[in-house]
Amino acid sequence: MKNLLSKLGLVLIIGIIAISGCKKGENDPFLSLKSRDARITGIWKLVDQRIIRTYTSNSVTTVTVERFDGTTWSVEYADTIISRPYSRELNVEKNGTYISIIIDDENKSEIMGNWWWQNDTKNKVQILFVPFNNSIWFGDNHESFIIDRLTDNEMMFEQSSYSKSTSANGDIYENTYSSEMTYEKM
């Protein structure tokens, strides 16, 4: 009986260690029976996105907020809001290729390229998309994303950047960019 309890205890400890290694992203499910490679492949539809851009020049700051709610893209700059119909699908293939189909107002574009895990093949929390034709993909050629959440049916990307420069005459320029995107599997 004691031997049986020891074996069960050992199996339980090994199981807990194995399960704790499944969660890669901060908001990933505690346990998934599929690998991140298996979960990311498929056809995804963008359902929500928010972008905040801040530009500062000599202490004057300008903020632009862009928002996608699943059907409409809106840009808010100063006191003006411009909206238009928008959609984006992302087909991520197991072989390391992708196709992004974007319909912006009535203009359709397809971007094809390769994807891979940028940080390493073990942790798989940062992904890189590289278009075949070097086209700009997400607006500002930001093609590297942190995957905050990846389940069988939901994927959340995060992205941010910051730059600061000083001109020859001492003017200071600062740019910040942050984006959050939510995709749902189709």
Alpha-carbon distance of 154 to 43, in angstroms, equals 11
Task: Confirm if 55 and 161 have CB atoms less than 8 A apart.
Answer: no
Give me the pLDDT at residue 28, please.
60
Residue 11: what are its φ and ψ, rounded to 5°? -60, -40
The ranges of the chain with pLDDT < 50 are 10-21, 23, 139-140, 142
Task: Round to whole Å and give the CA distance between 152 and 142.
Answer: 25
Look at residue 17 in the predicted model and tell me its pLDDT: 37
pLDDT tens string 69-81: 999 999 998 889 9
How many helices (H) and strands (E) in the chain? Answer: 2, 10
Q: How many residues make up the chain in this entry? A: 186
Q: What is the spatial distance between Cα 127 and Cα 25, in angstroms, rounded to a whole number?
A: 12
How far apart are alpha carbons 81 and 41 in whole angstroms?
A: 35
Q: Please identify which residue in the block is written with the tokens 């202490």.
A: 59
Three-state SS at 103: strand
Please state whether beta strands 80-92 and 72-77 pair in parallel, antiparallel, or not at all (unpaired).
antiparallel
Residue 132: the pLDDT is: 82
